[in-house]
Structure 1
Amino acid sequence: MRKSLLLSLLMAVPGLLAAPLSAQTVATAHADTLVKSESSWNGVKYVAYPSTSPQLTVIKLTIPAHTALPWHKHPVPNAGYVLAGQLTIEDRESGKKKTFTTGQAFAESVNDVHRGISGDVPTVLILTYSGTKGTPTSIPVDSKQPEY
């Protein structure tokens, strides 16, 4: 009885036995370029990469509301994406500031002392660094307190 019930159920759904278990559609994806730049957000041009093998680092950084990160610099090119909140980047030498909000991406500065400042809610960023093995992604200045 159980066999006939199972067989009846399988026959009731045409093509069930013939259908591949992992059917997939092959198609191209849609891509939105968020950042493509030869210079950082403050207009400073990037210079040539080191001649060693690259090492990519991707981090998710959460900054509490109403927080200024310590002054720091990055020795390698990097880009950020604001998942939540907002980030104001402040360049120490020029005093220039620019604010990025949820859904915006930015090209970070290299070797310029700067800091990030969050707004009224926590800021969540995805940061991608294009460096080399053994090279830090962020270097603290002045207080020696790290960015993260």
Structure 2
Amino acid sequence: MKHLVLATAALLSFAHSASALDNSAAVKVTPLLKTTTSWDGKPIVYPQGQAEVTALIVEITADAQTGWHEHPVPSFAYVLEGTLEVKLGKGETKIMRAGEVLPEVVGTLHNGRALEGKNVKLLVLYTGSVEKKLTITHPEFTPAAPNAPATR
């Protein structure tokens, strides 16, 4: 009988406790992103192999750029500070401000630049696999001039 009372009490306490993802008096949950695509509309596809998640703080000095690069794995950036311009090799541009989240493009050349004369600080999460590169730089890439045919 003692075990039945303890089991019933345990079940009742679980039924009334909040999940870690539910808002309650003790826990506030603010959804930032739920998507199946990167910001350019391509589907997010996880790489094959042993999963590996990498979390980084990336800081870009005022008016500096990341340089042209691509990510072979899905990544997600949360802007902690500043204003970030992300430009694709084909010219499409996205402006991100503090408090916004970006599902990064995968396998697409892009460049990030800190705007408004201020530093940018990002929290970046990569969903890759063991021994897979997170970023591939392309210093040789020069974007085409506006209204000119794209070349590579």
For normalisation by structure 2, the TM-score amounts to 0.71
Cα distance in 2 for residues equivalent to 1:33 and 1:53: 28
- Runs of at least 4 residues off by over 4 Å: none
Q: Unaligned 5+ residue runs, structure 1?
A: 1-25
1:60 aligns to what?
A: 57
Rounded Cα–Cα distance in structure 2 between residues aligned with 1:68 and 1:30: 35
Q: Tell me what 1:78 maps to.
A: 75
When the two chains are superposed, the root-mean-square deviation of aligned CA atoms in Å is 1.7
Q: Percent identity?
A: 29
The CA deviation at 1:44 is 2.1
- Amino acid in the other structure paired with 2:101: A
Runs (5+) with no aligned partner, structure 2: 1-16, 21-26, 142-152
The equivalent position to 2:137 in structure 1, one of 135, 140, 147, is 140
* Larger of the two Rg values belongs to structure: 1
Pairing 1:114–2:118 present: no
- Note if contact 2:39-2:103 (Cα within 8 Å) is conserved in structure 1: yes
Q: CA deviation at 1:143?
A: 3.7
Q: Counterpart in 1 of 2:23?
A: none
Q: Name which of 87, 92, 98 aligns with 1:90.
A: 87
Shift of 1:45: 2.2
Q: Deviations over 1:36-76 (max 9, x none)?
A: 111111222223x3331210000001100011221000000
TM-score by length of 1: 0.73
